[in-house]
Amino acid sequence: MKFKFPLKKYNPRELIRRCGYGEWVDKDHNNISYTKKLGSSNYPRFHVYLDVFDNYFAVNLHLDQKQVSYLKGQAHSADYQGPQVEEEARRITKIIADIYNKKSS
């Protein structure tokens, strides 16, 4: 699920961290994303990629159900929509909106 926010005086990386996400560095693909565990183990977990543009940033959210296993015939098990993903998107949106509203007051 993708959704976006206007760029204001906040770093998108800091905003997503304030939503409870920790930075995750994929050394194999040389990229940074953010995860939020749903329990004591690594999976399931919410996984976010941030894309920053001139006037806005986009959040690309999905729910990883299990660890990636790219063996022949197997793929990534993730949900890109559904009730859990939609609820998490609403939660993130509310937190960021609250941060924006507090600063501009």
The pLDDT of residue 26: 86
pLDDT of res. 53: 97
pTM assigned to the model: 0.87
Q: How many beta carbons lie within 10 A of that of residue 85, not counting itself? A: 17
Residues 6+ apart with CB under 8 A from 47: 24, 33, 34, 35, 61, 62, 63, 64, 78
Structural domain of residue 80, as residue ranges?
A: 2-104
Which of 8-12, 28-32, 82-86, 90-94 comes out lowest in average pLDDT?
28-32
Domain total in the chain: 1
Q: Tens digits of per-residue pLDDT, 73-100?
A: 445 678 999 999 999 999 999 999 999 9
Joined together, the tokens standing for residue 52 give: 């920053």
Q: So what's the pLDDT on residue 105?
A: 47
